[in-house]
């Protein structure tokens, strides 16, 4: 959520730009490197290249422990190998299938049972990832960053031990360290989970089609994966223990799930897996239902998407005096605003990305924090990362996107009577012809796309939240996120001339407020 402190419209919130410098004397020190970065993912690669661009002597180490299924990957971290990139490509595969189903209405003679090859999709996705891994190694070389394919742990506050895949060990010293080790998917720790289930670390390289799939969990990873598997053509079931997308605007989250459910994804609410066992090539799942009764079902694939743990235990952080938060096991930041400078409890050791406690787990956050930190350490910059109002998108079949937090968060921050919500339902023009079919898709007939804008009436209706649930939501919100960051007001949206016929133009015509109690009318563009 954006800060409530007054600042003129059209200017960024200046309090977020300046920070105390990070004081390390790099001019003379007895260490081999100015900076060693531990973890070559989104944050680590960005930080190391930026530091080297300022003339620092930098090395980065990156090492991937294989999953219980034996899956492993190359340089680049989660986003490139087992996160954003393969996920978005598979989301795209799902959208293409949906477009093929719509194509008849636009005059194309596409068969209803269009065939899909999972093997081709996986091969192409993995080849693309391979090319990115190769590109990252080259980029490090061109940037004069040394790369070690080794796993690091601290020996003391200025020394790490590096162990490579062959078990060879060496020690390296540095004046400063950046920890950007990210996290890995959690397991349930119930009988049979590691033997029978896969995680997002395995899904994007599965050799065989996943078939009937159970997805355990109800947040980003779970809903995105269940969504694209269903859209590609696999039967998918989501086992949700509580609410969908905790922390996300709940009205939007429910719409995302409703759409998936109406489109044919099975949503099992209030269920908990208790045990998994192999039955031939399939997995028998023992679970309790919403009444607490034991049930069983058999799936071809079970995907655990129940959150991630930070890879801090293996770093021996206590030897360097770096503290972790006891519950999340993520690294605690110190500074004016907690973690604002990414400095840890050891003054020359910093943490960025998913491993830093209390920060959004998103690739652009890790990258920007890493680059700004490198600029402060080696480039005399004072700019710090603005962790507030970071835009995000859930890439479900109907995408949900927003800059800043949801309505619940706005109410918590400002109070229910201090905010106003403008909202509307709409059906995109792209749905119009398929909707005229004799049997249009139930999801489209019975649900719709949605948007809401949350404002502060006491500040000329300054916008503190914007949400859209609909096709291409991520592409739409990226631009509007700038308006929110520049402290735009509802009047600015009203004065903005829409681009017709688009879904985004609906943001320029919002007139119904929640407080008016008026029902929103479903509109087209
Ligand atoms: P990582 O990218 O995880 O990199 C950490 C690296 O450090 C890894 O290579 C790890 O193996 C290595 N490492 C760990 N310990 C050591 C050690 N001791 N020594 C050496 N190396 C070590 N974010 C988005 O913004 N958009 C998306 O659409 C999106 N989709 C996602 C989909 C999925 C399925 C998942 C799981 C995540 C997704 N994310 C998305 C989140 C995004 O991937 C992460 O926020 C981002 O990768 C974090 O970057 P990082 O640098 O902190 O860590
Ligand atoms: P989250 O931690 O966000 O969610 C975990 C989910 O698993 C919740 O629904 C939780 O339910 C459920 N869960 C946890 N423990 C259990 C259990 N024992 N049994 C059953 N269900 C359980 O994890 P994700 O891995 O989905 O996402 C991690 C982060 O990665 C996100 O916050 C996001 O920042 C990032 N990400 C971003 C993406 C994007 O930008 N598009 C895509 C994917 C990931 P409950 O709510 O009840 O706790």
Is residue 345 within 8 Å of residue 321, measured between CB atoms?
yes
CA dihedral 225, 231, 236, 238 (to 10 degrees): 50
Poorest-pLDDT segment among 15-29, 211-225, 329-343, 495-509: 15-29
Q: Rounded CA gap, 83 and 309, in Å? A: 15
Query: What does the pLDDT average to over 322-351?
Result: 89
Give the pocket of ligand 2 (CB within 6 Å): 188, 216-222, 224, 241-243, 246, 272, 305-308, 360-362, 392-395
460 has a pLDDT exceeding 90? yes
Q: Does residue 26 carry a pLDDT above 90?
A: no
Distance 299 CA to ligand 2 centre (A): 21
Do 234 and 159 share a structural domain? no
Last residue of a domain, one of 287, 306, 325: 306
What whole-number distance in Å separates Cα of residue 397 and Cα of residue 394? Answer: 9
Looking at the fold, whether 121 and 206 belong to one and the same domain comes out as no
- The fraction of the chain above a pLDDT of 70, given in percent, is 94
| pLDDT band for position 339 (cuts 50, 70, 90) | low
Name the 3-class secondary structure at 351.
Answer: strand
**By the 8 A CB rule, do 130 and 142 touch?**
no
CA of 460 to the centre of ligand 1 (A): 40
pLDDT digits (tens, 9 = 90+) for 268-305: 999 999 999 999 999 999 999 999 999 999 999 999 99
Nearest to 420 by CA among 509, 331, 514: 514
ipTM rounded to 2 decimals = 0.98
> Do the beta carbons of residue 88 and residue 204 sit within 8 Å?
no
Residue 267 lies in a domain: yes
Range of the domain at 70: 33-182+311-379
Q: What are the two backbone dihedrals, phi and then psi, of residue 387, each rounded to the nearest 5 degrees?
A: -85, -5
Per-residue pLDDT band at 404 (split at 50, 70, 90): confident
Using the predicted structure, report yes or no on whether residue 219 has a pLDDT greater than 60: yes
Q: What is the pLDDT of residue 14?
A: 38
Q: Is residue 16 part of a domain?
A: no
Candidate from 329-343, 349-363, 496-510 with smallest mean pLDDT? 329-343
Output the residue whose Cα is nearest ligand 2's atom 18: 188
Q: Which of 478, 481, 476, 510 is nearest to 493 (CA)?
A: 510
User: What would the pLDDT profile of 486-506 be if each residue is shown by its tens digit?
Assistant: 999 999 999 999 999 999 999
> Is any atom of ligand 1 closer than 6 Å to the C-beta of 77?
yes
Q: What is the pLDDT of residue 389?
A: 86
Same domain, 241 and 204: yes
Q: At what angle do helices 363-378 and 42-53 cross, to 10 degrees?
A: 30
Q: How far apart are CA 234 and CA 383, in angstroms?
A: 47
- Give catalytic status of residue 230 as yes or no: no
Together in a domain, 40 and 79: yes
Q: In 3D, which of 308, 338, 350, 49 has the Cα closest to residue 179?
A: 350
In this structure, the answer to whether residues 99 and 148 fall within a common structural domain is yes
Q: Coil, strand or helix: which one is 423? A: strand
Cβ 63 under 6 angstroms from ligand 1? yes
Give the domain-ending residue among 273, 306, 339: 306
Known binding positions for NAD(+): 217-224, 307
Q: Are residues 121 and 202 in the same domain?
A: no
The answer on 241 and 273 residing in a single domain is yes
Is residue 213 over pLDDT 80? yes
* CB-ligand 1 contact for 200 (6 Å cutoff): yes
Residue 497 lies in a domain: yes
pLDDT at 10 over 70: no
User: What integer is the mean pLDDT of 19-41?
Assistant: 82
45, 77 contact by CB (below 8 A): yes
Q: Are strands 33-38 and 169-179 parallel, antiparallel or unpaired?
A: parallel
**Cα separations (Å) of 328 from 53, 97, 150, 325, 481?**
33, 39, 25, 6, 29
Task: Count the helix, strand and coil residues of the chain and give each as a percent rounded to the nearest 5.
Answer: 35, 25, 40
* 64 is a domain residue: yes
Q: Which helix (H) or strand (E) holds 421?
A: strand 420-426
The catalytic position among 23, 91, 97, 500 is 500
Q: Is residue 340 predicted with pLDDT exceeding 90?
A: no
CB-based contacts of 185: which residues, under 8 Å, 6+ apart?
Answer: 199, 200, 201, 221, 304, 305, 306, 307, 308
Which residue has the CA at smallest separation from atom 28 of ligand 2?
307
Residue 481 included in any domain: yes
Confidence of residue 106 (pLDDT cuts 50, 70, 90): very high
User: How much is the pLDDT for 15?
Assistant: 38
Question: What is the per-residue pLDDT for 9?
Answer: 59
Q: Is the pLDDT of residue 27 over 90?
A: no
Ligand at minimal distance from the CA of 392 is 2
Indicate if 258 and 151 belong to the same structural domain.
no
* 316 and 172, same domain (yes or no): yes
What's the structural domain count of the chain?
3
Average pLDDT, the chain: 94
The rounded distance, in Å, linking the Cα atoms of 512 and 60 is 53
Whether 477 has a pLDDT exceeding 60, the answer reads yes
Nearest ligand 1 atom to the CA of 43 is: 51
Which residue's entry shows tokens 């015509």? 509
Q: What is this structure's pTM? A: 0.95
* Whether residue 40 is found in the same domain as residue 168: yes
In a domain, 154, yes or no: yes
Higher pLDDT: 238 or 405? It is: 238
Contacts of residue 73, Cβ cutoff 8 Å, sequence gap at least 6: 64, 81, 82, 129, 133, 205
Would 83 be classed as within a structural domain? Answer: yes
Residues 6+ apart with CB under 8 A from 416: none
The DSSP secondary-structure symbol of 361 reads: -
42 and 158 housed in the same domain:
yes
Atom 23 of ligand 2, nearest CA residue: 307
Question: Would you say the CB of residue 301 lies under 6 angstroms from ligand 1?
Answer: no
Q: Check: CB of residue 437 under 8 Å from CB of residue 478.
A: no
Tell me which residue has its CA closest to atom 53 in ligand 1.
Answer: 182
Which of 242, 276, 306 terminates a domain? The answer is 306
**Distance from Cα 157 to the centre of ligand 2, integer Å:** 33
pLDDT digits (tens, 9 = 90+) for 410-426: 999 999 999 999 999 99
Alpha carbons 268 and 448: distance in angstroms, whole number: 22
CA of 69 to the centre of ligand 2 (A): 21
**Could you tell me the pLDDT band of residue 335, with boundaries at 50, 70 and 90?**
confident
| Structural domain includes residue 389 | no
249 φ/ψ angles, rounded to the nearest 5 degrees: -50, 120
| CATH code for the domain of 417 | 3.30.390.30
Query: Any idea what the CATH number is for the domain that residue 229 is in?
Result: 3.50.50.60
Q: Are residues 218 and 343 in the same domain?
A: no
Whether pLDDT at 311 is above 70: yes
Give the list of residues 6+ apart from residue 415 with CB closer than 8 angstroms, or none.
none
Say yes or no to pLDDT of 88 above 80.
Answer: yes
Buried b (16+ CB within 10 A) or exposed e, 69-103: eebebbbbbbbbbbbbbbbbbbbebbbebbeebbe
């Amino acid at each position: 959520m954006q800060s409530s402190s007054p600042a003129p419209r059209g200017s960024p919130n200046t309090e977020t730009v300046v920070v105390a410098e990070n004081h390390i004397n790099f001019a003379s020190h007895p260490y081999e490197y100015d900076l060693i970065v531990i973890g070559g993912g989104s944050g680590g690669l960005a930080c190391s290249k930026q530091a080297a661009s300022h003339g620092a002597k930098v090395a980065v180490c990156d090492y991937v422990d294989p999953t219980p299924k034996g899956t492993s990957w190359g340089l680049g971290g989660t986003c490139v190998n087992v996160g954003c990139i393969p996920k978005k490509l598979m989301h795209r595969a799902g959208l293409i299938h949906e477009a093929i189903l719509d194509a008849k209405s636009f005059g194309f003679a596409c068969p209803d049972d269009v065939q899909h090859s999972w093997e081709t999709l996986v091969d192409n996705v993995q080849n693309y990832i391979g090319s990115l891994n190769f590109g990252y190694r080259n980029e490090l070389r061109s940037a004069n960053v040394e790369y070690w394919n080794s796993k690091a742990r601290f020996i003391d506050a200025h020394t790490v031990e590096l162990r490579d895949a062959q078990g060879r060990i060496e020690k390296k010293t540095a004046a400063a360290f950046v920890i950007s080790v990210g996290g890995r998917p959690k397991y349930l720790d119930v009988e049979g989970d590691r033997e029978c289930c896969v995680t997002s670390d395995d899904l994007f390289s599965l050799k065989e089609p996943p078939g009937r799939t159970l997805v355990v969990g109800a947040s980003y990873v779970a809903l995105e994966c269940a969504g694209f598997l269903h859209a590609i053509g696999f039967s998918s079931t989501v086992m949700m223990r509580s609410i969908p997308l905790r922390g996300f605007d709940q009205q939007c989250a429910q719409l995302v799930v409703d759409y998936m459910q109406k489109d044919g994804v099975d949503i099992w609410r209030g269920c908990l897996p208790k045990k998994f066992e192999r039955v031939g090539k399939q997995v028998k799942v023992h679970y309790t239902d919403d009444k607490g009764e034991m049930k069983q079902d058999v799936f071809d694939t079970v995907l655990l998407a129940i959150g991630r743990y930070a890879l801090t235990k293996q770093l021996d952080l206590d030897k360097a005096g770096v503290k972790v938060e006891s519950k999340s096991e993520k690294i605690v930041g110190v500074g004016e605003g907690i973690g604002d400078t990414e400095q840890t409890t050891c003054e020359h050791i910093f943490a960025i990305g998913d491993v830093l406690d209390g920060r959004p787990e998103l690739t652009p956050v890790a990258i920007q924090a890493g680059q700004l930190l490198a600029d402060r350490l080696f480039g005399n910059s004072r700019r710090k990362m603005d962790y507030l109002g970071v835009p995000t998108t859930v890439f479900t079949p109907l995408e949900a996107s927003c800059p800043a937090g949801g309505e619940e968060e706005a109410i918590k921050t400002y109070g229910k009577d201090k905010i106003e919500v403008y909202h509307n339902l709409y059906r995109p023009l792209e749905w119009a012809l398929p909707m005229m079919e004799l049997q249009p898709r139930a999801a489209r007939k019975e649900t719709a796309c949605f948007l809401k804008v949350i404002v502060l009436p006491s500040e000329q209706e300054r916008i503190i939240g914007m949400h859209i649930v609909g096709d291409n939501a991520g592409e739409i919100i990226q631009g509007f996120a700038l308006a929110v960051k520049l402290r735009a007001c509802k009047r600015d949206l009203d004065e903005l001339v829409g681009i017709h016929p688009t879904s985004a133009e609906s943001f320029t015509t919002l007139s119904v407020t929640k407080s008016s109690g008026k029902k929103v009318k479903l509109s087209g563009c």
